[in-house]
Amino acid sequence: MSIVVATTSPGFGRHGRLPQMLEETGWEIIRCTDTSLPDGGLSNHIERADFLVAGLISVTSDSIANAPKLRAVLKHGVGTDSVDIAACTARGLPVTNTPAANANAVAELAVGLMFSLARNIPQGHMSVVSGGWDRRPGVEISGKTLGIVGLGNIGKLLAKKAIGLGMSVVASDLYPDRAFMVEHGIELLDLDALLARSDYVSLHVFGGAGNSALINAEKLALMKPSACLLNLARGEVVDNDALAAAIDAGRLKGAGIDAFVTEPPDVSHPLFKLPSVVFTPHSGADSLEAFENVGLMVISDIQDFIAGNRPARVLNKEVYER
């Protein structure tokens, strides 16, 4: 009997060695990525699925209610705030993710956003292609301070890149890797002190209720007027109303935004009218190398499940104790 894999991730299995690997498995891949539908069309196919490879579309108790064959939910990425793990556990479904597989891609985009903001790259591009020659002096990031909120896999890679560029790095983390921080000369600060010290602040925390509006008007008021905020985490981590107001009033220089509460976002929001904000379409993890790494981990875990093994990346191990 053929294995049926439903996926809501547009990039799953499309890059590098993955198309050939999937073809060799003989699995039926059902792509539920219709952006005109709230669940990508998953509800039309979930009853046939043996495995669900989840993208950014939420996996809820309703998503898996009519899935009698489903054996596991595999997140095509790291953050699992879009997956109701408790609901999956109640159904006896293991949930996996792919830690660190796309960390370098996200860290590199953070560096790219810093350079874009520091050297006015988007504005320079628009000036030239529109027939102008608006040479705006920028600043160098060497010698500046980068504050990293969330020193996990992505944060650590970003820290090393920033240090290599001549930046000083400070970090805020609930469970800091103190050995790493000592090795790389990174100072541990609480969030308020980090915001006050940093020239650039890069967010790399999980989404969800605990971090909703982590960066609000009160926190933004602590930052330097010359500072920039980078959000490569989740949209709800930043209060965009407060962010737009701070930038518009000159209390903050600018921002780089890769994650939004609603995707695609409502571009009528005041934030999108500000020239000192750079946007990317939640593409931090979108490198060919990262897609291949993530896909390889997902395929490996599916193969383990099929063989009756327990993948090491299962997040809700209690399903095996039921």
From 32, 28, 23, select the one nearest 54 (Cα to Cα): 32
Sign of CA dihedral 262, 174, 84, 14: positive
Q: Is 226 exposed, middle or buried (0-12, 13-18, 19+ CB in 10 A)?
A: exposed
Annotated catalytic residue 45: no
Under 8 Å between Cβ of 150 and 205:
yes
**Rounded-to-integer distance, Cα 231 and Cα 203, Å:** 5
Among residues 15, 31, 197, 282, which one is catalytic?
282
- Which residue in the list 234, 236, 292, 313 is annotated as catalytic? 234
Catalytic residue among 23, 218, 263, 289: 263
Q: What are phi and psi of 250, to 5 degrees?
A: 80, 15
Distance CA 270, CA 165 (A): 33
234 catalytically annotated: yes
Instruction: Determine how β-strand 28-31 pairs with β-strand 51-54.
Output: unpaired
Q: CA 102: distance to chain centroid?
A: 9
Q: Which residue has 């054996």 as its token pair?
A: 71
Q: Count, in order, helices (H) and strands (E) of the chain.
A: 10, 12
User: Which neighbouring-strand residues pair with 34?
Assistant: none
Q: How far apart are CA 269 and CA 188, in angstroms?
A: 35
What is the C-alpha R_g of the chain? 21
Q: What is the DSSP letter of 83?
A: B
Q: Which residues are catalytic?
A: 234, 263, 282
